[in-house]
Amino acid sequence: METFFSLLERRVHITHSLLCVGLDPHPNDLPQANADAALDFCVRLVRETSRYAAAYKPNAAFFELYGPEGWAALKRVIEVVQEESHRTGSLTPVILDAKRGDIASTAEAYARSAFEKLGAHAITLSPYLGEDSLAPFLADRERGVFLLCKTSNPGAGDVQDLKLADGRTVYEQVALLAQQWNRNGNVGLVVGATQPEALSHVRALSPDVWLLAPGIGAQGGDLETALRAGLRADGAGMLIPVSRAISRAANWNRAAAEWRDAIERMRHAMTAGRRPQTAVSRPRSAVVGLAQALVDSQCVRFGSFTLKSGLQSPIYLDLRRLISHPPILKLAARAYAGVLAGLRFDRLAGLPYAALPIGTAVALEMNRPLLYPRREVKDYGTKAAIEGDYAAGETVVVLDDLATTGDTKLEAIQKLEAAGLKVRDIVVLIDREQGAREALAAAGYTLHAVTTLRELLALWRESGAVTAAQYDEVMAFLAG
């Protein structure tokens, strides 16, 4: 059974489009303000634009205002979208823009109305009543929801920008909660294209979720800016709803084609050659979110600490704490996966102890097998030096949390190679840039890092997470 978003991704692939055509039959745009006129308007719009639409988004309010006849018209519009799907060769998702939000039996009734009676594939919802209010909509993984996160209206900040006790905004908390609630792979977020900074923050906090980004066109959002802020690393993960800029154009077919093509040109230009050839391989937005998450979880601390190497450090990175913060651990795993996607290997090898939970999270994220070299060989049972299934001659990529001097990596690699495994690459979350890359390269191995300590320090300085004095002290320490 597929999810709503696998349906959407297939449609995007077939149509080469991220365009979501809004079906908003404003009374002022109709020859008569009634349900029949609204139906005729939307049916003609669908038939003119179906070749170019990745999805449609009918606004329930413009149908509900006509009472029972309007509700019947909305149902017929959704049916027409599916009839047109047969001409384009793939089912076209319909996202009901209803912004529902209620609890218990009321939420269940809303879900049945949208999905069973109307036949919509997804719906926009308010998350502010919590997970139980969303449960009836999320129960069927073939149906999707887009949660209001950072909306495009001028007053959105009245609530969504409020700061919580931990310094995070309400909308950022919604973005993190969405990942917890996304157990069936059917949760997306609504983030206005008029809010590019928020789009960037949400994409960093939720690297893989689909974003519905209204506000382009009549509301003044800039298409290129929005795409740069909100696209996933793969150039997808974002729907651009366009309503009046198409429905009020002289030629609907041509307008839809022009919007589809403009989006495609921009996203291909942005993603062409995106994977850098350096050892640090990831979009900057992902590192911005990770930097903030490390501070929030206290995985980074400042003071005076003795490292394993014996060096005294003014900063301590304690990534073992990630196990107590599942959303951040998942964020880290996805960051690792972005680097690993460019490497060739048979298995992952996590190093005890900090990288074992990280390695497990990465293995689950990528559906790749994991093993690990024991620190102490067992003197009982199988007396294994390597835990996990493997065959001699296979290539493993070594995972660790940090890189400082590289000594522990070399010790572990010796055990792996003694077991007949091949090692070429090591991937860490953070390179402290204190000699590990050079030491590993001298031994014939390549170190890859999601980010570096200097990059994180710059981001922490920008956000105010570190003082100028702390920044200067750590930079002096790194300079040696």
Query: Which sequence positions are flagged as catalytic?
Result: 99
Contacts of 476 (CB under 8 A, 6+ apart): none
Contact predicate 354/332, CB 8 Å: no
* Beta strand pairing call for 312-317 and 300-306: antiparallel
Contacts of 116 (CB under 8 A, 6+ apart): none
Neighbour count for residue 281 (Cβ, 10 Å): 21
Burial label for 30, CB within 10 Å (0-12, 13-18, 19+), is middle
Q: What is the DSSP letter of 280?
A: B
How big is the CA angle at 422 (ends 416 and 427), to the nearest 5 degrees?
80
Distinct helix (H) and strand (E) counts, the chain: 19, 16
Q: Which candidate, 381, 358, 384, 380, places its Cα nearest to that of 370?
A: 358
Contacts of 83 (CB under 8 A, 6+ apart): none
The pair of structure tokens assigned to 473 is 């002290």
The pair of structure tokens assigned to 32 is 């008569």
